[in-house]
A = this chain, B = another copy of it.
Amino acid sequence: MDEFSFIDEIKQSYYRQPSLIKGIGDDGAVTQPNGQNVVFVKDMFVEGIHFAAHTMSPFHIGYKSLAANISDLAAMGAQPAFYLVAISIPKEWPLKKIATIFQGMKRLANKYQMDLIGGDTVSGSELVISITAIGYAEDNKARYRSDASVGDIVFVTGTLGDSQAGLHILNNPGAYLDESYYLMRHQMPSPRVEFALELIRLPRLSLNDISDGIASEVHEIADASKVTIVIQENKIPVHFSYGQFDTNKQFKWKLFGGEDFELVGTVPKQHWNCVQEAATLHQIKVSKIGYVVEQDSRSNVLLQLENGKKVSLQKDGYNHLSR
C-alpha cells in the first residue's frame, strides 16, 4: 500500500458535520461555526511511553488516543465535531497496521459523528500520534476549572481505578473477576460527552476529566478556582469487584492512577439533583465525593480518610498535615 492509497483508505467517503465546508484534500480544512464557540484540544501519544504493544492492539491505540481528546472536549462542555491526526510511522510498522489505528479512531468518531478533516503522515523511528480535536460549545457555556466556589458539591462520574486495574491484569495474567470489564476500561474508555452536554442548562459548573488521576485533576480545579477541595476517601466510587486487588494498589489506582476518563466537577448544592438526573438519563453513575471550602493554607486539596483524619493530598501522594 503506497501513501496515496493509504490516505484514500483513511479518508471518509462522506462528511457528517453540517458546518464543514472543506475536509481532507487541500492545504487545510474549513468550517463555518455559525455563532458557536470553537474548542480546541491537542494530545500526543508515544509508543513505549503511553502504550505498549503487549497491552494495546493498534485498534485500541487509535480508539484510546481519540477517546483522550474527546474526554478533554467533554470536560470543556463541548460537542465533539472534528479531528486531525498527525502520525510518525516507524519503517517496521506496515501501513495496514497503521490503517487499523485509524479504524480504532473511526469507531469512536462514528459514535459522535466526528469527521476526520486533516493531518500529516511522516516517517520516524518510533510511533508518535498527535491528535487535535475540535468541538463546539454554546456561547459562554464552555466549562472551566476556575469555576468552583465555596459550598459546592464535588462529584465524579463512573468508578475510579479501573484503567490501572486493567493494565495490572494485562501485565499479570491470572484469574480475575470481571477481567473483560477492566480490560475494556483500559483499552476502550468511554468519554462522558452526553452527560457533560446534559449539564449545559446549569449556570455554573467546574469540570475536569480524569486523565492523570483524580488527585491531580482536583488540584487543577482547586488551584484555578483558589479554593480548597475536601475529598472523602470512602466516597470515591469503585467497581464492585475492585476489592479483589491488593489494598495498597486499590488506594493508589483510584487516587493517582488516571486514564479512567471520567469527569470530576463541582456544582452549587441546589443543582446537585440536576447532576444526578443527567447521570440517570445517560445511564451512568455519579457520586458526591466531597465539598469545596475556603482556601486552606495547609493544602488546596484535603483527603478525609476513613478514620475521619484529614491529610494533605498531593498530585502524586499524600502527606500528614503538620499544625
Binding site for B on A (CB under 8 A): 21-22, 25-35, 37-46, 48-50, 72-73, 75-76, 78, 82, 84-88, 117-120, 122-126, 128, 130, 132, 134-135, 137, 139, 142, 144-146, 208-209, 224
Contact = CB atoms under 8 A, between A and B. Distances in A.
A139 B32 CA distance: 8
Contact of A21 (B37, B49, B86): B37
A142 B41 contact: no
A107 B98 CA distance: 35
B123 A124 contact: no
Number of copies: 2
A64 to B, nearest CB: 15
Interface of A is mostly: strand
B27 A41 contact: yes
A193 to B, nearest CB: 13
Nearest to A75: B27
A88 B128 CA distance: 8
Nearest to A31: B38
A28 B73 CA distance: 7
Given A88-B128, A128-B88, A142-B21, A118 B29 contact: no
Given A46-B88, A49-B123, A40 B128 contact: no
A119 to B, nearest CB: 5
A25 B224 contact: yes
Contacts of A208: 27
A78 B46 CA distance: 32
A125 B86 CA distance: 17
Nearest to A32: B37
A132 B84 contact: yes
Nearest to A82: B40
A120 B44 CA distance: 6
A26 B264 CA distance: 13
28 contacts: A22-B144, A25-B224, A26-B146, A27-B41, A27-B73, A27-B145, A27-B209, A28-B41, A28-B72, A28-B75, A30-B39, A31-B37, A32-B37, A38-B38, A40-B82, A40-B84, A42-B84, A42-B120, A42-B132, A44-B87, A44-B88, A44-B122, A46-B124, A48-B125, A49-B124, A125-B125, A125-B126, A132-B132
